[in-house]
Chain A
Amino acid sequence: MFAEWLFAAFSILAVLGGIGLVTFRHPMNSAMSLVVTMISLAGLYALLSAKLIFAIQLIVYAGAIMSLIIFIIMFLNVRTEDLPEEKGRFLYLFGGVVVLAPVFFFLKKIIQSIPATKATILGDGFGGIKEVGLVLFKDWLLPFEIVSILLLVALVGAVVLAGKRRMSK
């Protein structure tokens, strides 16, 4: 029962954060709404007993990425009078809602077709750091290494680009 209330609270917060991200005019307000969404998602992961994903969501998304985005917004120092005038934004919003309405009904139908079974928490430390690590390094070693190389390429690229600009000075 308590978990269901938490689920409802986190879901509502996540959706409200998403709405805030789209509708706020000032980028700082939008970014802070996105932080709320990220933290609520972390809460939802925790309710699914995915402990490691919960921690990673908090550290990487809510912590590192969002703080970099907010750092950039602060760096640019956007003032309210600098913002462009968005005429007819509510018209676009209305149009978007109309376009998305069929998708919403489709999703509603899918959710209703799911058989009502009682969810139970999987035992044996499911979602814990040790179990995820074992699965990652035993069954999915090759994909894991390929993704690592992809990230390494991106890192090296960033360093090379940063270095080039310094040389041309």
Chain B
Amino acid sequence: MSLLDILLVIIRVLFAAFVPLCFIAVCVWMERRGAGFFQDRAGPNRANIFGFRAAGLVQNLADGAKLFFKEDVISDHIEHKFYFVLAPLIIFFTAIVSFAVVPFADTLVLNGKSYIMQGIPLDLGILWFFALAGFSVYGIILAGWSSTNKYGVLGSLRSTAQVISYEIPMGLAVVSLLVVYGTINLNEMAQFQGQLLFGFIPMWGIVLQPIGFVIFLIAAFAETNRTPFDLAEGESEIVAGFHVEYSAMKFAIFFMGEYVALFVSSAIIITLYFGGYQIPFLATDTLISYAKPVAFLLMVALPVIMYFFAGWIRKNNVSHYPRKNDPRVYEANIYIKCFWGLVIVLEIILFAILLFKSGGAAAHIFVVLLQVCTFLLKVTMMIFVYIWVRWTLPRFRYDQLQKLGWQVLLPLALLNIFITSAFVVALS
């Protein structure tokens, strides 16, 4: 193994491990700002460091500090302390490891060698995701059971039954997708989606499998235990469900695991149905050969976007009542300067790419960076959809939930498999 090989292995493993962790902060922040937006209120806007609030991101730090320094209580009535401690770890660990097979960029080719861009070089793809989704059930069961608490057991009963029954429509929706793509490898699926349908529509999963997408999306909402399927928490009925007995960092690990699961299921939805890392109309090969024009366009577009973004910050980051020497205006100016600095750094990088010869290693790396950005942007948008649904729809009743899963989604998914297979056989 050369030094480059080792470096790329380290980069891809670090990316797969730390990006989900960083997205916890982004998800929590988006959740709160989103809740504020949908309920027509401000959201977190008080916690600050020297007057800098970073649009509410500092609130996360405050929460983290609070949870970290809180007393970690394990009540005396808990008999099986080992399982009690193990449960949050299982949930957190399975959530992070299931991201390891999601490709965040197309295979990077350097000096004739190809480097795969996913956490672990396993071509089991979607099967790995299903295996680990099955394991996360253990965390829920053990948490509820070892809490020795009626609310805990009720919450984990609901949650387990829900996750197990929604795995079936989810799996069947994926079966029809496999018929279309002809592979279980997520990277090959993303490459397939780089093609064009009739020459002008991106061949994304959502175009080829609209019914499958709806089924998968609903099942994914149920798998992540989010509204409208968050009966496991059901604050008004069973307090907080399976994590009612947990405090301090053990609760925080549940909380973080939930948001990592949200990130991973968004990433899976993106990879299966929205072209993964692919930029629409620009497949990897096209992008490599047109690296210079794309870099030039970005060089022009970035300052323009930044100009409007700066205007938006200046308009929104002000006090809502007259104040002398408004500190928020001062804050906004600092933010705008920071962002302009970032834009200048990006411009220098793009200019460097213009200097290198086209089709070389620089172009390949540039394409990978672009695809990583596209992937993260798409995932952020999908997370927004999750938050949008959470703050818009009310919770289902439990029998409605099971009825939806078994009587609507399951037959629909089976029908979808038959229709898809008929189409694939007719067209091939």
List the interface of chain A (C-beta within 8 A of B): 28, 32, 35, 51, 54-55, 58-59, 62-64, 67-68, 70-71, 73-75, 77, 80, 128-129
Contact = CB atoms under 8 A, between A and B. Distances in A.
Interface stretch (B1-9, B13-21, B125-133): B125-133
A156 to B, nearest CB: 15
B59 interface: no
B428 to A, nearest CB: 16
A32 B86 CA distance: 12
B80 A28 contact: yes
Contact of B157 (A35, A54, A75, A80): A75
Interface of B: 79-80, 83, 123-124, 127-128, 130-131, 133-135, 137-138, 141-142, 144-145, 153, 156-157, 160-161, 164, 167, 184
Nearest to A64: B134
B138 A28 contact: no
Q: Say what secondary structure dominates the interface of chain B.
A: helix
Given A63-B135, A73-B145, 13 more contacts: A55-B127, A63-B137, A67-B134, A67-B137, A68-B164, A70-B141, A70-B142, A71-B137, A74-B141, A74-B145, A74-B157, A80-B79, A129-B124
A9 B233 CA distance: 39
B274 to A, nearest CB: 24
A28 B83 contact: yes
Q: Say what secondary structure dominates the interface of chain A.
A: helix
Contacts of A64: 134, 164, 167
A70 to B, nearest CB: 5
A64 B135 CA distance: 9
A55 B138 contact: no
Contacts of A32: 83
Contacts of B138: 35, 67, 70
Given A67-B137, A129-B184, A58 B131 contact: yes
Contacts of B124: 51, 54-55, 129
Nearest to B131: A58
B175 to A, nearest CB: 13
A67 B164 CA distance: 9
A64 B130 CA distance: 10
B135 A71 contact: no
